A and B are shown apart, each in its own frame.
Chain A
């Protein structure tokens, strides 16, 4: 899934001829990221469409040199994340735990914690994990999603989030630790 290194150069020379390749190479990242933010698949698809449309018009307006030098993956991820956040602000999904502005400090209970254990047990593991992930404070969640769900290197995660690498690493760590803690607490409860 790593995009070909020469794609930016080809986009610079022939945007219309190479744009489909850009979409195919990055649609999984763009859609996946949008889905983890807006939670509703139909909304995520719209955010993904908007992302690529915006990218197309941006690429069409930039100088050839600028396009050729672009780092497409973090750039697209950043557009997708911004559009997804905007959409969430306009129309928050139902049944989502509250967050503070920074995505810091607020310890959010996993939504499934309130539900009967039996129900949670029957769920697929990924469903549970997705739910726990959705319950993380925003800053942590975005960092975890970019690093561990989408598999971006820390340098790119930092670029997407506009934060220092160290901060991003801390957020990833805290997010993962909270996920781990919640999962362990569940296992404890099940065993008892």
Chain B
């Protein structure tokens, strides 16, 4: 109420210049920029953007949202990537307006050979607890090394789940960044890879593992390498195995053989022990 006792508060009821002023004020309503809604949906993880980074085996598409990196694919495969992404995640995926430089730098630093950046954040919604555990194990395998599917199963306390491990790795939504390529057959063969075995071979070679040599060892039946000075046996790509000089290297066809020879498993690469 104003001094005159009439209610002049509600401008809407007023005439003339006041009405014009009200209209003018309402005309100040600003339109939100078209970038707002997509940006919000990306930040809360209901939509994703993708960008391209330099990968160890060629350019790599990286999809991400506010929760982390959600998917990767070889850059040559863009159309199929978009299709697969929609089918699996049922979220819109679009090229990034401007690549977030921090994310690009972090991913490229993480992938750089020799250097060890912290892993980027991953968005693993829709990945089961078992699958997550398998992927976490794969992430423990150092660059340049490989482990068999059976090792992953054993480490998870489910030695019989070798096939399930293979299936979980095959469903890895973020290959290369989550290094499922570091898991191979027990005989060193590069079995199965969502992007094709040649891609897996290129990745491992780029990381300093020698896939041809691994396969050769496997064909000859060698599973573990031991040192006759330390009496310890390792997976062939273990950094400890690589330090064994040729005159001291002993080859084993299995954990039992190594155990009978009086060797114990390496604590770093954790091959199965003879007792198992």
Give A contacts to B, CB under 8 Å.
Answer: 16, 19-20, 23-24, 27-28, 30-32, 35-36, 41, 44-45, 48-49, 52-53, 56-57, 125-126, 129-130, 133, 144, 147-151, 169-170, 172-173, 176, 179-180, 183-184
Q: Pick from A20, A23, A28, A52: contact of B29, CB below 8 A.
A: A28
Beyond A19-B44, A48-B32, 6 extra complex contacts between A and B, CB < 8 Å: A27-B36, A36-B28, A36-B30, A49-B36, A133-B28, A179-B21
Q: How large is the interface on B (under 10, 10 to 19, 20 to 34, 35 or more residues)?
A: 20 to 34
Closest to A53 in B: B43
Q: Once the chains bind, are B44 and A27 in contact (CB under 8 Å)?
A: no
> A45-B33, A180-B17 are known contacts. Are A129 and B44 too (CB-CB below 8 A)?
no
Q: Once the chains bind, are A173 and B9 in contact (CB under 8 Å)?
A: yes
Q: Is the contact region of chain A dominated by helix, strand, or loop, or is it mixed?
A: helix
Closest to A44 in B: B30
Residues from chain B with Cβ under 8 Å of A170 in the complex:
9
Q: Once the chains bind, are B24 and A129 in contact (CB under 8 Å)?
A: yes
Q: Pick from B10, B31, B40: contact of A52, CB below 8 A.
A: B40
Cα distance A172–B9 when bound, in Å?
7
Cβ of A164 to closest chain B Cβ, rounded Å: 13
Cα distance A169–B9 when bound, in Å?
6
Residues from chain B with Cβ under 8 Å of A130 in the complex:
28
> A20-B41, A148-B11, A173-B2 are known contacts. Are A129 and B30 too (CB-CB below 8 A)?
no
Q: Once the chains bind, are A49 and B39 in contact (CB under 8 Å)?
A: yes
Cβ of A53 to closest chain B Cβ, rounded Å: 5
Q: Once the chains bind, are B9 and A180 in contact (CB under 8 Å)?
A: no
Residues from chain A with Cβ under 8 Å of B29 in the complex:
28, 32, 149-151
Q: Once the chains bind, are B28 and A149 in contact (CB under 8 Å)?
A: yes
Closest to B8 in A: A173
* B80 at interface by CB-CB < 8 Å: no
